[in-house]
Structure 1
């Protein structure tokens, strides 16, 4: 007789694999750690296979676990699509979401795709700008929900992740050795003032290589090794890489990726979108910086 896989257990298995551990996965699933562990145990016993290698400090997948993970993702995606299309028809309307340029790729497309599958009659008006502009639009009630990059979090906000800034430059570049240090930032970049303060405190003279509001101009300047820039770890664009300065440049601040929600009146729909954003950027905290995807599309600031 054919055996059936438990989708609930599969969802826990996938979340553990993505989060890198049971504790973090339990928080994302809103379950106790013991409940997640029990689901994994039942899944392994049902298949008669070891799916997780628990011998190391951090849980890793066995060969069988890696194979199951691929199937599990497809099964859950199909399940979520079916449930969303069959049960979410009562939700109809629109919600406006704003996200800074530099944290859009790789994470937001997956969030929007999942939201569209679960709420097919809801429309997301998506806009991308810099954090300062988004905060202003949110305060004026022009945006329902925003994600920001800030040094802290204001009242009413929720921190999704904390990510350090790193120096980036052209691959194999030498601009970081020049003095005054040539740097390139958009005029409204939220990182610009704190970077300048860190350089001043370290006694490193600097010069702003370009004055621009264009992300493309900054990217081209850095890629040409005419200046260096600072970006959230793991979010550097194609044509740039972290600068291996060996301590010659000061360490930079850690920034918060925050979520702000206004009174949309959409209830479950708004909470679902917030949850998808929470999971997307929460998973970022678990991934080593070198494993985070860099962006191939310019979106600095």
Structure 2
């Protein structure tokens, strides 16, 4: 069997054009390189290089010419195998759940940045309301999820231990050109179970105001468009507000709603290496964005 280390030295000698330069490539002395070439020749029982003292150039024998092609392929294949095995813990798929109203540009930046840093990990994402993402985690359909939640578990929301969390402020919004607010207050909301819908209803009923659902949608784009069109008011995070929205103030009867958080949670307490890699990346990237 060929000794891959000797073949590697042989290839370096040929490519570098000499023993001294080859030694620099493999971090060995010129004499050690020369000894390795002789050892390879002894194993094969035939010379591979023509040694001419008057010439500074390396010349291959006919056997050396036949061997060099095989040597290059064998060494390259060994390096490929080593590289593949050494990154084995960095290869795989992570399934991440993302809130329906998560900022699209931030999501794309997150995905592209992770792909550049970890090209051998595939990141699959699914969108949905936080209540749906919890269900997907429980069913093992996804590995990790970013969920919107109230602090201290208000409104009976479950409080899974977060791997990381970031504060989120929300605001009452209305169409920029909408000035009159009906009674009961028309609401633009997500379906039942949405954390924002729960906050809206709780805030209005706590202040003694009547309300009605004027428009409901699963889509953030639909919610944004309905607010812009003046169909009603809604509660949105800062990142989801558009230029044709305006804030409602306490003077208009809409006090500031307590903020919540964006939490990263896992479906299992034991994370794989690739899942840990994504968690570490998101901790750093999301914290930088919100700093």
After TM superposition, the score normalised by the length of structure 2 is: 0.61
In structure 2, the CA distance between the partners of 1:107 and 1:215, relative to structure 1 (3 Å rule), is closer
Deviation of 1:159 (Å): 4.3
1:216-250 deviation per Cα after TM superposition (whole angstroms, max 9, x unaligned): 44333211112011012333245323234535212
Distance in 2 of aligned mates of 1:88 and 1:109: 29
Distance in 2 of aligned mates of 1:111 and 1:151: 24
* Higher Rg: 2
Three-state SS of the structure 1 residue aligned to 2:288 is helix
Aligned to 1:266, which of 261, 269, 272? 272
In structure 2, the CA distance between the partners of 1:247 and 1:234, relative to structure 1 (3 Å rule), is farther
Q: Which residue of 2 aligns with 1:112?
A: 111
Aligned to 2:178, which of 162, 173, 177? 173
1:221 aligns with 2:226: yes
Q: Which residue of 2 aligns with 1:293?
A: none
1:245-266 deviation per Cα after TM superposition (whole angstroms, max 9, x unaligned): 5352122121110001234753
Three-state SS of the structure 2 residue aligned to 1:221 is helix
Contact 1:202 1:250 in 2 (8 A): no
Distance in 1 of aligned mates of 2:251 and 2:289: 26
Q: Which has the higher helix share?
A: 2
Q: Which residue of 2 aligns with 1:241?
A: 246
Three-state SS of the structure 2 residue aligned to 1:169 is strand
Deviation of 1:210 (Å): 1.9
Distance in 2 of aligned mates of 1:213 and 1:120: 32
Deviation of 1:275 (Å): 2.2
In structure 2, the CA distance between the partners of 1:219 and 1:128, relative to structure 1 (3 Å rule), is same
Distance in 2 of aligned mates of 1:216 and 1:200: 27
Q: Which residue of 1 aligns with 2:130?
A: 131
How many residues of Structure 1 are paired with residues of Structure 2 in the alignment? 200
Deviation of 1:135 (Å): 0.5
After TM superposition, the score normalised by the length of structure 1 is: 0.59
In structure 2, the CA distance between the partners of 1:284 and 1:206, relative to structure 1 (3 Å rule), is farther
1:186 aligns with 2:185: no
Three-state SS of the structure 2 residue aligned to 1:204 is coil
Contact 2:169 2:237 in 1 (8 A): yes
Q: Which residue of 2 aligns with 1:37?
A: none
Deviation of 1:146 (Å): 0.4
1:168-196 deviation per Cα after TM superposition (whole angstroms, max 9, x unaligned): 11123224x32221111011422101211
Distance in 1 of aligned mates of 2:86 and 2:106: 23
Aligned to 1:232, which of 224, 228, 237? 237
**Gap regions ≥5 residues in structure 1:** 1-84, 287-301
**Gap regions ≥5 residues in structure 2:** 1-82, 154-158
What's the RMSD between the two structures over aligned residues? 2.6
1:206 aligns with 2:203: no
Q: Which residue of 2 aligns with 1:162?
A: 167
